[in-house]
Copies of this chain bind each other. A is one copy, B any other.
Amino acid sequence: MILERLSGPPAAEGVAAEAQQLMRAMFPLCRSITGDGVRRTLDLVEKWTPLKRTEVPSGTALFDWEVPKEWNIRDAYVSDALDRRVVDFRQHNLHVVSYSIPVDRSMSLTELEPHLHSLPEHPDWIPYRTSYYREQWGFCVRHRDRMQFGPGPYRVVIDSDLAPGHLTYAEAVIEGRTSGEAIVYTHTCHPSLANDNLTGIAMAAALARELRGETPRLTWRFVFGPGTIGSLAWLSRNEKILPRISGGFVVGLLGDRGALTYKRSRNGASATDRIAEHVLRTSGCEHRTMDFEPYGYDERQFCSPGFDLPIGRLTRSANGAYPEYHTSADDLDLIRTDKLAESLTVLARMISVLDANRSLQSLSPRGEPRLGKRGLYGTLGGTAPSDMEHALLWVLNLADGKHDVVAMAARSGLPFELLDRAATALEDVQLVRSLDEQVAEPRRAAK
């Protein structure tokens, strides 16, 4: 099974500490759903793993949506009569509402007010606001500062471009031995927010780097793209592979102190769901499982009724469930190395089990085949069978094409890893075959 190196704390904590370095480098960049902030973020990820980048032109239809104009910003501020910047984008890129159109005007506080956003209940935090699909502009400020603003006049400058360009997403692709596919999607569109979602980007980068040295069964695609419009772009360009997707995860918000939280796919009992619950149940971690609901992150798109893919979501605190969510308080200090390492270990095991999971078909289904003559069974009767013998019998009995290995684990109570080894031993002596392997043939031929 793949990714075994990350199964224990020492390696996982080392990688988590490295990932925090990557997050530190990415933090200051001003990301949005398009623009150079995203491209420079991908440059940093590329130091960890090769990426295949896709640039989709503005105006391209993506199902019911279309790619918006590209947004880039150089500077923005509100300055007073003495030319002092009372709000300054150079201090924090959350100060500007994402996708704000260019402005350069003088105005009174009264005129400015409708364009200001602050949090009275958290007067020291800058809120995060966006306006992707309606052209407007605005500033986000600490409520404590806002209370000091005099009547003006103010000079209001946003030096941004909103113009035809491209949407950028990238994939780290690790080819598998079969035609099966799996994906890990993480959103790249948030500016200087650490948990949401530099943790997701860094964990995906780390897993892709680890996996590159291995030979997984499935082709794994780690996709780095903006929320909503990014997964729609990826889906629109990958419709041919969708039927071959065995499972996958939307990941993010992996470094806070909340319990690991798995959100089921729309199906609710997909292989991904059963695997995620099996891994969490046997992980010893504090965890929580929740039903699918049609809000959250990109699982909304993967699980829309026309796709209905077996893709769940792994976070710690889910969207909105921690007070710092979508404010300047979601910074690097919020991230805990031990929690990041725990997230990494659990996610690695989910990926590993999903990769190894397969449905099996017995090639000798009438009666139990004789394991003894194949060297797979003790020969002196009268004593209880070993764990491995139990696993062999379970795999043979449930190899009816309707059970995958994780279903065998659920029904037998035996560990997935033991059943996987038994299944492999039985494949080796041609007593069972993997139904999913078969799918691989035509694709290999096509290469």
Q: Using CB atoms and an 8 Å cutoff, list the residues of chain A in contact with chain B.
A: 62-65, 97-98, 127-134, 228, 231-232, 235, 266, 291, 293-295, 300-301, 303-308, 320, 326, 362, 364-370, 372-373, 379-382, 384-385, 390, 393-394, 396-400, 411-412
Asked whether, in the complex, the Cβ of B305 is within 8 Å of the Cβ of A397, the reply is yes
Asked whether, in the complex, the Cβ of A367 is within 8 Å of the Cβ of B232, the reply is yes
Question: What is the count of identical protomers in the complex?
Answer: 3
Asked whether, in the complex, the Cβ of B412 is within 8 Å of the Cβ of A293, the reply is yes
Expressed in whole angstroms, the minimum distance between the Cβ of A435 and any Cβ of chain B is 13
Expressed in whole angstroms, the minimum distance between the Cβ of A313 and any Cβ of chain B is 14
Which of B98, B128, B231, B397 sits near A304, CB closer than 8 Å? B397
13 further A-B contacts with Cβ under 8 Å, apart from A131-B380, A307-B367, are A65-B370, A132-B381, A133-B372, A232-B367, A266-B397, A293-B412, A304-B366, A304-B367, A304-B396, A305-B365, A305-B400, A306-B367, A307-B366
Q: Considering the chains assembled together, what is the distance between the CA atoms of A306 and B361 in angstroms?
A: 10
Chain B residues positioned under 8 Å from A134 (CB to CB)? 372, 379-380
Query: CB-nearest residue of chain B relative to A62?
Result: B367
Q: Considering the chains assembled together, what is the distance between the CA atoms of A134 and B364 in angstroms?
A: 22
Q: Considering the chains assembled together, what is the distance between the CA atoms of A65 and B307 in angstroms?
A: 47
Expressed in whole angstroms, the minimum distance between the Cβ of A242 and any Cβ of chain B is 10
Chain B residues positioned under 8 Å from A304 (CB to CB)? 365-368, 396-397
Asked whether, in the complex, the Cβ of B133 is within 8 Å of the Cβ of A366, the reply is no
Asked whether, in the complex, the Cβ of A130 is within 8 Å of the Cβ of B400, the reply is no
Asked whether, in the complex, the Cβ of B382 is within 8 Å of the Cβ of A130, the reply is yes
Most buried by B among A98, A294, A379: A294
Chain B residues positioned under 8 Å from A232 (CB to CB)? 367
Q: Considering the chains assembled together, what is the distance between the CA atoms of A308 and B365 in angstroms?
A: 9
Query: CB-nearest residue of chain B relative to A379?
Result: B134
Asked whether, in the complex, the Cβ of B65 is within 8 Å of the Cβ of A397, the reply is no
Chain B residues positioned under 8 Å from A235 (CB to CB)? 366-367
Expressed in whole angstroms, the minimum distance between the Cβ of A431 and any Cβ of chain B is 8
A-B residue pairs, 10 tightest by C-beta: A306-B365, A306-B366, A294-B397, A130-B381, A294-B393, A64-B369, A305-B400, A134-B379, A63-B367, A305-B365
Q: Considering the chains assembled together, what is the distance between the CA atoms of A326 and B63 in angstroms?
A: 65
Asked whether, in the complex, the Cβ of A295 is within 8 Å of the Cβ of B393, the reply is yes
Q: Considering the chains assembled together, what is the distance between the CA atoms of A213 and B364 in angstroms?
A: 41
Chain B residues positioned under 8 Å from A382 (CB to CB)? 127-130, 326
Asked whether, in the complex, the Cβ of B295 is within 8 Å of the Cβ of A131, the reply is no
Q: Considering the chains assembled together, what is the distance between the CA atoms of A253 and B368 in angstroms?
A: 22
Q: Considering the chains assembled together, what is the distance between the CA atoms of A365 and B302 in angstroms?
A: 11
Expressed in whole angstroms, the minimum distance between the Cβ of A204 and any Cβ of chain B is 21
Asked whether, in the complex, the Cβ of A305 is within 8 Å of the Cβ of B367, the reply is no
Asked whether, in the complex, the Cβ of A398 is within 8 Å of the Cβ of B305, the reply is yes
Asked whether, in the complex, the Cβ of A379 is within 8 Å of the Cβ of B133, the reply is yes
Chain B residues positioned under 8 Å from A291 (CB to CB)? 411
Given A295-B393, A365-B306, A64:B370 Cβ within 8 A: yes
Chain B residues positioned under 8 Å from A307 (CB to CB)? 365-367
Q: Considering the chains assembled together, what is the distance between the CA atoms of A379 and B129 in angstroms?
A: 10
Query: CB-nearest residue of chain B relative to A381?
Result: B130
Q: Considering the chains assembled together, what is the distance between the CA atoms of A64 and B365 in angstroms?
A: 9
Expressed in whole angstroms, the minimum distance between the Cβ of A141 and any Cβ of chain B is 14
Asked whether, in the complex, the Cβ of A294 is within 8 Å of the Cβ of B368, the reply is yes
Asked whether, in the complex, the Cβ of A306 is within 8 Å of the Cβ of B362, the reply is yes
11 chain-A/chain-B pairs, Cβ below 8 angstroms? A63-B364, A64-B367, A64-B370, A127-B382, A134-B379, A228-B368, A235-B367, A266-B397, A294-B393, A301-B368, A306-B362
